[in-house]
Amino acid sequence: MFHATLPTLGGHGLQAAGPMEQFEILPLFELTAGGVDISFTNSALWMVIGVAATIAFFTMATGRRALIPGRLQSVAEILHEFVANLVRDTIGHDGKKFFPYVFTLFIFILVANFIGLIPSIPGSPHDLHTFTTTSHIIVTFALAMLTITIVLVYGFAKNGLKFLKLFAPSGLPIWLMPILVPIEVISFLSRPISLGVRLFANMLAGHIILKLFATFVIMLLGAPIAFKALALFPFLGAVAIFLLEFLVAGLQAYVFAILTCIYLSDAAHAADH
């Protein structure tokens, strides 16, 4: 649809693609297993790059384990401390065993968000453009479902059927139960949806706006000479949005981690209230 509204800009060496084109999933190696398409795609490629970069960074940073940390080790320690504090403050004493999960989740989302902000190499083929894996709802929803599954399994394993007290807070007048319990159940069921959609929609919206501003620049550069100077304004807008996206990339990883902690804390303390 966007393709139809954008003019073709031949003759300038510039090509304006639709804002949705950056989210296209393209297979790099075709693979099928039992009739199911399991091709290695650009999405998978950038996930692997993100994980490899993370492993490389932490291996390097914690390789020397100096008493007085160097620059790399400081960064690793700050990240570790940050998530450890988060887990300790929200879940409390029971939180320690969830630290590896929350830390992995936080770092994975953070790195995936930031990788999406790296500009592609000009002239590189479309299927090797940088790709934001978290801008696909299947990725974020899978992460959210993982969290909720852990909450459910851990909640029932730790509290038994008392986990269901989560839906009926104690001290509630009995006549309020028929109203409040369905509300609590619906709010619990909407958790994976809101968790997944929040991250996905933030990334999608940010990248679409970024691309739209970039398209305005190209359209104005293709305009008659009197309008060319106006291209500066959308360019400055794109820079501002880019800075905002940096903030959002970090913030959304943080929000995902903290909400995971809150849900886990609910599961850990369901029988207490």
Among 113, 202, 215, 265, binds other proteins (CB under 8 A): 202
d(CA 44, CA 42): 5
CB of 13 to other proteins, least distance (A): 30
The stretch near other proteins (CB under 8 A) out of 121-129, 196-204, 217-225, 231-239 is 196-204
Nearest residue (CB) to other proteins, 61 versus 261: 261
When asked if residue 5 is in the footprint of other proteins (CB under 8 A), the reply is no
The stretch near other proteins (CB under 8 A) out of 10-18, 164-172, 180-188, 193-201 is 193-201
Q: Find the binding residues for other proteins in span 238-267 (CB under 8 A).
A: 251-252, 254-255, 258-259, 262
Q: Where do we find the tokens 């291209």? A: 231
Secondary structure of 87-151 in HEC code, one letter for each residue: HHHHHHHHHHHHHHHHHHHHHHHHHHHHHHHCCCCCCCCHHHCCCCHHHCHHHHHHHHHHHHHHH
CB of 82 to other proteins, least distance (A): 11
d(CA 96, CA 91): 8
Nearest residue (CB) to other proteins, 129 versus 191: 191
Q: Find the binding residues for other proteins in span 23-82 (CB under 8 A).
A: none
Closest by Cα among 118, 93, 263 to 188: 263
When asked if residue 17 is in the footprint of other proteins (CB under 8 A), the reply is no
Please check whether residue 250 is in contact with residue 110, taking contact to mean a CB–CB distance below 8 angstroms.
yes
CB of 247 to other proteins, least distance (A): 11
CB of 197 to other proteins, least distance (A): 6
261: left (phi over 0), alpha (psi -120 to 50) or beta: alpha
When asked if residue 205 is in the footprint of other proteins (CB under 8 A), the reply is yes
129, exposed or middle or buried, with CB in 10 Å at 0-12, 13-18, 19+? middle
Please check whether residue 249 is in contact with residue 132, taking contact to mean a CB–CB distance below 8 angstroms.
no
Contacts to other proteins by CB under 8 A: 1, 20, 86, 89, 194, 197-198, 201-202, 204-205, 251-252, 254-255, 258-259, 262
